[in-house]
């Protein structure tokens, strides 16, 4: 399905070609000037330089070439040569009919689908999810939904942090607390216990305790490093403990992710690729990519064109331990061998930019993966009103479950203040509040350009006015209410015949969905879709205020407008689902 914008671009581009000018200069865009024609073409300015003509004179020639176009109702020259274009009424009507019958409301499937792995840079084992995990989860989930909807094959991987010093710290802390456990016996040859010796609360308590102790006491740190090295060398009891830690952590994480509405295809971690590390390092040595520096095995990744110094990637530390970069490279090999992706996306915060630059360059240099097919989907931080990273009132890091409860409480209060859902039973009211709270948090995050920081303000996020998730949910609920009333009254949908300007404006906004979808996918930026959905809801609000639907006196007008409501609801709900936002049936 071709959008009106694309159809107009083809028509105008052909006129440019007839004047011996590049077709792409005839590209038509949505007008950025309120009150003007809905479309514009600014190509005459650049074309005039090529043709060495006056821009306005060239614009006159272009307009002359478009006079007989059945796609254009009117075209005017503004300023030095800008073209303002109003599409033909019949074009808008035909496009409305196509949008109405298309379950995807105009969203096209890509012609060259890719296999894409999305790495969420997941949480660490033994640590409960906190606000710092919010953006990776929400942005990554939206990207997997967007890319799948666009036609790509997507495999998402949480990529747990389950390897490294923190594991040694946990093991030594457990040994201090329960020294008689069989995992610490060097000569145990029986059956290992199937039940974990700890639960998630134990791990959540032990990890910060162990970390602080290691920072304060070098002897404790050395013990943790020794345990880490023995774990990575394959000590059986420690490997069983690691499996316990992972199982307990995943069970807890699945609860948090389910509450957030985020799901993964793979629950693999760094430990899963440990068998690949030794042969990978040996291969790198044989290929001449490594060298020893201060006792560590490194790969130099700096380039002559670099404007700032990029340190070498450390494969093996001077203490003999594999690092994050090592497991990241091994994970690339694992994915290449078992998934064969075209692209790997890493949804991780901006602070890891140098790390991923090193890893991507090393992957390209060692020829294990195309460096240009590895992308760091970086994002900013969630801050408090003081401009610093968002924390609890006591100064600690807020757990994700507490954040979701805060949003739920705020949504419940908003419903009460607005007099909404008060006649429903407690179970339905609670579910509506949950959906509003999630919509508030997710839309507030995704509406921002992902590389920017934003301030967490739950009161603003849960408002039913402005650019918020609840505003969009309320728009959906209003549409659903209209459709229910129409069904009760026996009014059915019919052919869309736009007559009022608000109807045409709504059709034209619906027609922008494909553009927004593929721009969001191509730029890995869900905020582009957020902008479209908000603009769509506003266009519907103007339509609803000016064009009576069920109260229209003419049956054909009723049916036409009802079809417009149904089509708008379908697109808005589809778009919200791509953001990971579920809509209630009523409020």
What pTM, to 2 d.p., does this model score? 0.94
Q: Which domain-ending residue is among 260, 278, 300?
A: 260
Give me the pLDDT at residue 279, please. Answer: 97
Report whether 107 contacts 513 (CB < 8 A): yes
Structure confidence at residue 397 (pLDDT): 75
Instruction: Report the pLDDT value the prediction gives residue 164, as an integer from 0 to 100.
Output: 82
Closest CA to 446 of 463, 465, 461: 461
Q: Which residue, chain included where needed, has tokens 């007989």?
A: 68
**Inside any domain, residue 584:** no
Task: Give CA–CA dist 166/155, Å, rounded.
Answer: 27
Count CB-CB contacts under 10 A for residue 176: 14
Q: What is the pLDDT of residue 33?
A: 74
Give yes or no: residues 229 and 185 share one domain.
yes
Residues 321 and 408 in one domain: no
pLDDT of 574 reads 98
The enclosing domain of 491 has a CATH number of 1.10.730.10
Q: Which residue has the tokens 């020794």?
A: 226
> Are 83 and 139 part of one and the same domain?
no
Q: In this structure, are 570 and 480 located in the same domain? A: yes
For the chain, 587 residues long, give each residue's pLDDT as a single digit of tens.
999 999 999 999 999 999 999 999 999 999 977 667 999 999 999 999 999 999 999 999 999 999 999 999 999 999 899 999 999 999 999 999 999 999 999 999 999 999 999 999 888 888 778 888 899 999 999 999 999 999 999 999 999 988 888 899 999 999 999 999 999 998 898 999 999 999 999 998 999 999 999 999 999 999 999 999 899 888 999 999 999 999 999 999 999 999 999 999 999 999 999 999 999 999 999 999 999 999 999 999 999 999 999 999 999 988 787 889 999 999 999 999 999 999 999 999 999 999 999 999 999 999 999 999 999 999 999 998 888 888 766 666 788 888 999 999 999 999 999 999 999 999 999 999 999 999 999 999 999 999 999 999 999 999 999 999 999 999 999 999 999 999 999 999 999 999 999 999 999 999 999 999 999 999 999 999 999 999 999 999 999 999 999 999 999 999 999 999 999 999 999 999 999 999 999 99
- Structure confidence at residue 395 (pLDDT): 61
pLDDT of residue 457: 92
**DSSP type of residue 460:** H
Domain end (from 68, 87, 106)? 87
The two beta strands, 343-346 and 313-316, are unpaired
Which H or E run contains 508? Answer: helix 501-510
Distance CA 95, CA 58 (A): 30
Place of tokens 């995807």: 104
pLDDT of residue 321: 79
Q: Which residue has the tokens 């272009």?
A: 62
Residues 255 and 270 in one domain: no
Q: Does residue 234 share a domain with residue 196? A: yes
Token readout for 282 is 């040996």
The CB density around residue 444, as the number of other CB atoms within 10 Å, is 24
Which residue, among 188, 163, 159, has the nearest Cα to 245 in the 3D structure?
Answer: 163
Q: Is residue 385 part of a domain?
A: no
Distance CA 8, CA 11 (A): 5
Residue 95 lies in a domain: no
Report the number of distinct structural domains present in the chain.
4
Name the region of 490 (left: φ>0; alpha: ψ -120 to 50; beta: rest). left
Please check whether residue 568 lies inside any domain of the structure: yes
**Co-location of 132 and 203 in the same domain:** no
d(CA 461, CA 465): 9
Task: Look up the domain containing 290 and give its range.
Answer: 118-161+266-376
The token duo for 303 is 């380039």
Number of helices (H), then strands (E), in the chain? 20, 13
473 domain residue, yes or no? yes
Domain identity same for 247 and 291: no
Q: Is 390 a member of any domain?
A: no
d(CA 24, CA 41): 11
With H, G, I as helix, E, B as strand and everything else as coil, classify residue 486.
Answer: helix
Please write down the HEC assignment for all residues of 186-240. Answer: CCCCCCCCCCCCCCHHHHHHHHHHHHHHHHHCHHHHHHHHHHHHHHHHCCHHHHH
CATH number at residue 293: 3.40.50.620
Same domain? 371 vs 411:
no
The answer on 501 and 415 residing in a single domain is yes
40 in a domain, yes or no? Answer: yes
Same domain, 212 and 172: yes
Domain shared by 410 and 533, yes or no: yes
Q: Are strands 291-293 and 296-299 parallel, antiparallel or unpaired?
A: antiparallel
> How far, in Å, CA of 468 to CA of 447, rounded?
9
Q: pLDDT at position 129, please?
A: 83
Specify burial of residue 245 (Cβ count, 10 A radius: 0-12, 13-18, 19+).
buried
Distance, C-alpha 30 to centroid of its chain: 25
Cα distance between the two ends of the chain: 35
- 405 occurs within a structural domain: yes
User: What CA–CA distances, in Å, run from 320 to 184, 296, 297, 388, 569?
Assistant: 22, 8, 9, 37, 58
- What does each C-alpha distance from 30 to 69, 224, 286 come to in angstroms? 19, 60, 56
Domain boundary pick from 241, 260, 279? 260
Collapsing DSSP states into helix, strand and coil, what is residue 74?
strand
Maximum Cα–Cα distance across the chain: 92
Cα angle 46, 47, 52 (rounded to 5 degrees) comes to 105
pLDDT value for 385? 83
CB atoms within 10 A of CB 327: 25
């Amino acid at each position: 399905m071709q959008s009106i914008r694309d159809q107009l671009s083809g028509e105008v581009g052909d006129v440019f070609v007839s004047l011996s000018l590049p077709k792409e200069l005839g590209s038509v865009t949505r007008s950025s000037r309120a009150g003007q024609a809905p479309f514009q073409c600014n190509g005459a300015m650049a074309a005039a330089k090529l043709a060495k003509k006056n821009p306005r004179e060239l614009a006159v020639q272009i307009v002359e070439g478009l006079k007989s176009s059945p796609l254009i109702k009117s075209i005017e020259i503004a300023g030095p040569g800008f073209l303002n274009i109003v599409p033909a009424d019949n074009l808008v009507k035909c496009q409305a009919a196509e949008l109405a019958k298309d379950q995807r409301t105009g969203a096209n499937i890509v012609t060259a689908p890719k296999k894409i792995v999305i790495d969420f840079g997941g949480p660490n084992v033994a640590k409960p999810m906190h606000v710092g995990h919010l953006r990776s989860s929400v942005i990554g989930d939206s990207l997997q939904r967007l890319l799948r909807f666009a036609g790509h094959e997507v495999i998402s991987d949480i990529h747990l942090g389950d390897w490294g010093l923190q594991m040694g710290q946990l093991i030594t802390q457990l040994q201090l607390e329960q020294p008689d456990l069989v995992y610490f016996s060097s000569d145990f040859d029986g059956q290992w216990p199937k039940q974990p010796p700890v639960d998630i609360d134990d791990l959540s308590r032990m990890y910060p305790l162990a970390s602080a102790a290691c920072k304060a006491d070098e002897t404790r740190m050395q013990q943790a490093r020794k345990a880490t090295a023995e774990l990575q060398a394959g000590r059986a009891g420690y490997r069983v403990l690691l499996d316990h830690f992972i199982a307990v952590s995943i069970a807890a994480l699945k609860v948090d992710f389910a509450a957030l509405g985020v799901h993964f295809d793979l629950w693999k971690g760094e430990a899963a690729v440990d068998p690949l590390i030794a042969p990978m390092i040996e291969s790198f040595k044989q290929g001449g990519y490594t060298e020893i520096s201060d006792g560590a095995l490194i790969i130099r990744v700096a380039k002559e064109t670099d404007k700032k110094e990029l340190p070498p990637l450390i494969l093996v530390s001077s203490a003999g331990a594999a690092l994050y970069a090592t497991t990241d490279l091994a994970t690339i090999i694992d994915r290449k061998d078992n998934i064969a992706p075209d692209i790997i996306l890493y949804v991780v915060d901006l602070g890891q930019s140098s790390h991923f630059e090193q890893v991507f360059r090393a992957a390209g240099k060692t020829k294990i993966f195309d460096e240009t097919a590895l992308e760091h989907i970086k994002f900013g931080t969630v801050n408090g009103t003081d401009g610093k990273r968002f924390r609890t009132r006591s100064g600690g890091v807020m757990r994700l479950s507490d954040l979701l409860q805060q949003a739920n409480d705020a949504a419940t209060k908003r419903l009460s203040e607005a007099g909404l859902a008060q006649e429903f039973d407690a179970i339905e009211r609670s579910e509506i509040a949950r959906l509003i709270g999630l919509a508030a948090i997710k839309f507030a995050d995704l509406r921002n350009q992902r590389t920017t920081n934003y301030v967490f303000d739950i009161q603003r996020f849960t408002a039913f006015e402005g650019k918020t998730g609840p505003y969009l949910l309320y728009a959906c609920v209003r549409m659903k209410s209209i459709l229910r009333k129409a069904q009760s009254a026996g009014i059915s949908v019919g052919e869309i015949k736009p007559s009022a300007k608000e109807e045409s404006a709504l059709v034209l906004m619906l027609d922008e969905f494909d553009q927004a979808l593929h721009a969001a996918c191509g730029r890995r930026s869900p905020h582009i879709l957020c902008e479209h959905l908000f603009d769509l809801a506003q266009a519907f609000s103007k339509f609803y205020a000016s064009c009576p639907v069920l109260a229209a006196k003419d049956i054909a007008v009723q049916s036409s407008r009802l079809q417009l409501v149904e089509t708008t609801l379908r697109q808005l709900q589809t778009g919200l689902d791509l953001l990971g936002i579920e809509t209630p049936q009523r409020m």
